[in-house]
């Protein structure tokens, strides 16, 4: 949801900024732009669309005198994806430039005030008001830092800002509230960015700005002040994200690489948390008594994380016997939650920066609930509101479509469900040990599925003409069906829905004809297996094109389904971990066949930092 970067130093400023923006590309690709502090003054270059368009504009030009610069990658909120709305924005007198991530909620009233003073606006963005306000404050302020501070105190909403001014060459001022901003110190200069990948290979130490803090960054000094203008002292942490960590390692796309990383991630998590003595969840700061007294678990999440939580509900209720309510964070935050005593609230977020999920956990913390954050980024904003944190340990996920983080979130829910069951003595020892053993076998079974990816690729070839898709399942795999449908929609732009199979006849069945593929996730041994078979028969009777993902060896299925994707047999409760992989691959191959931009699907951003 927009990303910003800034650099001051003796390195190649344009290259460093462009590499920085590349590391932030997952945050949006509606436009990209940079502003450079050069000997002749400030130079702004921007382009609509992906970063490569900006790089093309920059190529062949001489920027050797640029000792500082700021850059932006945009996911449009206020105003379309046009050149005039692209950042950096420039003040009316041309002396100040600014890039911004976030939304300024009171931009209309600030704009009106500035217009009354004679300022003219050229863009439709909320951002432009900030750069004009800084220009206004500079009439009285002694430095851009003071002007940014005064401006910041007038803003409502979320922002991470980077500002340069022609009268203060070689300096960048950055500020933040409710949007991430990290400052990095390197051998050849200092940086600021919305996220760590922007600084990979460039800096060795980092610090995180807190809300309403400002930093003045020059080549050899980083000065941080708070909203009252007092100097704040912070300790740098070592940072060593090698640029290779962000490479595709020979895969055609990050998505395919990340799908293939899944067995290793689950194996690592099991090694860390599961031993012969059972599950030890070091990140969960609840006493045995707290766990025994839990009356309910509430989970707030969005998108793929919401689907992982949906599976988590089945797991925890089934294994630990605790009621779990799962809700989109965007709804959870606008509803009353009368109980908070003995309630565990879980916020699930790969990025840890999703605005709705952060609001949900912040509210829960204010109500006095114990908050657990499940996130892939233990340095992210969600952690600030959490009493307990469990990391996904999936490594940086670059592809906008979440795959390995979903599997890692599922793994956390298995571990959590087993841990709660063990602490509450909700399951007998044998049953616990059997489930744990079956879980230990899953990584190898996932590898088997990946080794048979060709079956799924052939299926994708066959169904690439479909304009709609329906995924059905029962029980815990309803989450798998919904996640499979989301994956297909977001990267191939094919309309897809995931339904509980029993719901098919209550409406969606009207959509079925010989053009509609219906994919059933059928796990033998489940109490609903026969019912799901009947639902599939009903779809077949309407001439739908029938696909099954199953571990069943039952040859009868060949009469019912046109295509069968087989996965290894696991207990039904564990099958979301295996059944999901063919669905990720199906979405991937369909998108690839249709020539879609797999890693950067249109209109999406990986980190949704606005409500
Ligand atoms: O970072 P989060 O897990 O909070 O993100 C939530 C959703 O925005 C995210 O899962 C989104 O749905 C992905 N594009 C799914 O692939």
CB 35 within 8 Å of CB 50: no
- Residue 525 confidence (pLDDT): 87
Helix (H) / strand (E) containing 327: strand 323-328
Closest C-alpha residue for ligand 1 atom 14:
401
R_g of the chain computed on alpha carbons:
26
- Residue 242 confidence (pLDDT): 73
- Residue 502 confidence (pLDDT): 94
Longest dimension (CA), the chain: 82
Q: pLDDT tens across 107-160, in order?
A: 999 999 999 999 999 999 999 999 999 999 999 999 999 999 999 999 999 999
DSSP assignment letter at 314: H
Tally of residues, the chain: 611
Nearest-CA neighbor of 209 among 172, 168, 244, 246?
172
Residue 241 CA, distance from chain mean position: 18
Nearest-CA neighbor of 123 among 154, 151, 148, 92?
92
201 φ/ψ sector (left φ>0, alpha ψ -120 to 50, else beta) = left
Residue 114 vs residues 103, 107, 134, 141, 347: alpha-carbon distances, Å: 18, 10, 11, 17, 40
Catalytic residue status for 606:
yes
Distance of CA 315 from the midpoint of ligand 1 (Å): 21
Cβ-based neighbours of 512, under 8 Å, separated by 6 or more: 470, 518, 539, 542, 543, 544
Catalytic member of 46, 176, 540, 606: 606
The rounded distance, in Å, linking the Cα atoms of 206 and 407 is 29
Burial 460-494 (b: 16+ CB within 10 A, else e): beebeebeebbbbbbbbbbbbbbbbbbbbbbbbbb
- Helix (H/G/I), strand (E/B), else coil: 576: helix
Catalytic residue status for 2:
yes
- Helix (H/G/I), strand (E/B), else coil: 351: coil
Give the pairing of strands 545-550 and 563-566: parallel
Distance of CA 301 from the midpoint of ligand 1 (Å): 9
- Residue 487 confidence (pLDDT): 98
- Residue 71 confidence (pLDDT): 98
Sign of CA dihedral 457, 463, 466, 471: negative
Residues of the chain with pLDDT under 70: none
DSSP assignment letter at 425: T
Closest C-alpha residue for ligand 1 atom 9:
303
Closest C-alpha residue for ligand 1 atom 2:
349
Distance of CA 602 from the midpoint of ligand 1 (Å): 14
pTM: 0.89
The rounded distance, in Å, linking the Cα atoms of 539 and 509 is 7
């Amino acid at each position: 949801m927009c990303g910003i970067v800034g650099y001051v130093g003796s390195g190649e400023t344009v290259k460093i900024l462009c590499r920085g923006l590349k590391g932030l590309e997952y945050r949006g690709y509606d436009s990209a732009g940079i502003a450079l502090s050069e000997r002749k003054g400030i130079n702004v270059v921007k382009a609509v669309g992906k970063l490569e368009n900006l790089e093309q504009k920059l190529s062949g030009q001489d920027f050797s005198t640029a000792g500082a610069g700021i850059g932006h990658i945009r996911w449009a909120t206020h105003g379309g994806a046009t050149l005039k709305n692209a950042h950096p924005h420039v003040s009316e007198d041309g002396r100040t430039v600014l890039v911004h991530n976030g939304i300024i909620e009171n931009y209309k009233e600030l704009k009106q005030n500035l217009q009354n003073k004679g300022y003219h606006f050229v863009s439709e963005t909320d951002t432009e008001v900030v750069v004009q306000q800084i220009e206004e404050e500079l009439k009285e302020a002694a430095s851009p830092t003071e002007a940014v501070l005064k401006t910041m105190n007038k803003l409502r909403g979320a922002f991470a800002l980077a500002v340069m001014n022609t009268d203060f060459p070689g300096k960048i001022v950055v500020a933040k509230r409710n949007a991430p901003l990290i400052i990095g110190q390197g051998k050849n200069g200092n940086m600021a960015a919305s996220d760590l990948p922007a600084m990979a290979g460039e800096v060795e130490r980092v610090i995180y700005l807190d809300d309403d803090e400002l930093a003045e960054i020059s080549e050899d000094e980083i000065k941080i002040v708070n909203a009252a203008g007092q100097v704040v002292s912070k300790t740098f942490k070592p940072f060593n994200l090698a640029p290779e960590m962000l490479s595709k390692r020979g895969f055609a796309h990050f998505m395919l690489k990340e799908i293939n990383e899944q067995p290793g991630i689950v194996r690592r998590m099991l090694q860390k948390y599961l031993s012969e003595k059972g599950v030890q969840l070091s990140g969960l700061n609840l006493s045995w008594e707290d766990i025994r007294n839990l009356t309910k678990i509430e989970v707030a999440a969005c998108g793929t994380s919401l689907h992982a939580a949906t599976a988590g509900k089945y797991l925890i209720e089934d294994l630990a016997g605790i009621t779990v309510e799962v809700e989109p964070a965007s709804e959870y935050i606008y509803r009353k939650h009368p109980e908070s005593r003995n309630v565990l609230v879980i916020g699930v977020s790969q990025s840890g920066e999703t605005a709705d999920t952060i609001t949900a956990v912040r509210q829960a913390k204010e109500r006095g609930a114990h908050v657990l954050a499940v996130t892939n980024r233990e340095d992210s904003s969600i952690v600030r509101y959490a009493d307990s944190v469990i990391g996904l340990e999936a490594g940086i996920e670059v592809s906008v479509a979440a795959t390995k983080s979903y599997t890692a979130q599922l793994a956390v829910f298995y571990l959590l469900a087993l841990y709660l069951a063990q602490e509450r003595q909700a399951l007998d020892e044998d049953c616990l040990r059997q489930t744990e053993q079956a879980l230990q076998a899953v990584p190898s079974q996932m590898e088997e599925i990946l080794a048979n990816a060709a079956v799924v690729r052939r299926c994708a070839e066959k169904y690439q003409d479909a304009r709609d898709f329906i995924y059905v399942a029962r029980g815990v795999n309803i989450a798998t069906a919904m996640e499979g449908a989301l994956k297909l929609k977001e990267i191939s732009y094919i309309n897809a829905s995931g339904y509980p199979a029993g719901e098919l006849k209550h409406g969606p069945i009207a959509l079925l004809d010989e053009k509609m593929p219906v994919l059933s996730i059928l796990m033998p041994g489940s109490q609903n297996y026969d019912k799901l078979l009947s639902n599939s028969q009903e779809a077949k009777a309407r001439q739908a094109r029938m696909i099954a993902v199953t571990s069943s060896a039952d040859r009868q299925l060949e009469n019912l389904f046109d295509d069968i994707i087989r996965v290894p047999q696991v207990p039904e409760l564990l099958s979301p971990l295996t059944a999901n992989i063919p669905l990720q691959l199906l979405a991937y191959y369909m998108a690839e066949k249709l020539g879609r931009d797999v890693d950067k699907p249109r209109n999406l951003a990986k980190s949704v930092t606005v409500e």
